[in-house]
Amino acid sequence: MSHQEVIAQLRKLVWRLRWLNVLQLLPDTLLVYSIIQLAFSGQLVTLFNATFNRREAILVTVMFALIDICVTAIRYNDRVSGKRLISQLTGRLTTPEVDLIKRFERLK
């Protein structure tokens, strides 16, 4: 890949990582909410105004955990891809390119 292609890919990756960081809040919140509801409920657990028996509520919580793990894995893969892209950059970098790399490193 040329230098400009690497920078363009890195820009897309930084944008995607920003959105994934925001998106990560949703499954994290759902998981914490469902764990708290499970911890403080009896045989019947209310999640989002729907009543589940304990077993079904545990299955819903496991699904939230799987979604959370998937988003985390996507973020990890994007960080690895970004590191590979940065390692392909050679020569002197312009100030905007250095700023882009710094933005990527802050998103870790």
9, 17, 35, 49, 67 from 13: Cα distances, Å: 6, 6, 32, 38, 21
Q: What does the angle CA 34 – CA 54 – CA 47 come to, to the nearest 5 degrees?
A: 35
Q: Residues 62-75: pLDDT tens digits?
A: 999 999 999 999 99
% of the chain at pLDDT higher than 90: 91
Decide if pLDDT at 107 tops 80.
yes
Give the helix/strand (H/E) hosting 40: none
Coil/strand/helix, residue 45? strand
* Residue 57 CA to its chain's centroid (Å): 24
37 with 47: CB under 8 angstroms? yes
Interval 14-39 mean pLDDT: 95
Both tokens of 37, joined, read 């509801």
Interval 47-59 mean pLDDT: 95
pLDDT at 88: 92
For residue 48, give the nearest of 59, 60, 40 by alpha carbon.
Answer: 60
pLDDT at 98: 93
Roughly what angle, to the nearest 10 degrees, separates helices 95-106 and 3-39?
20
Decide if pLDDT at 44 tops 80.
yes
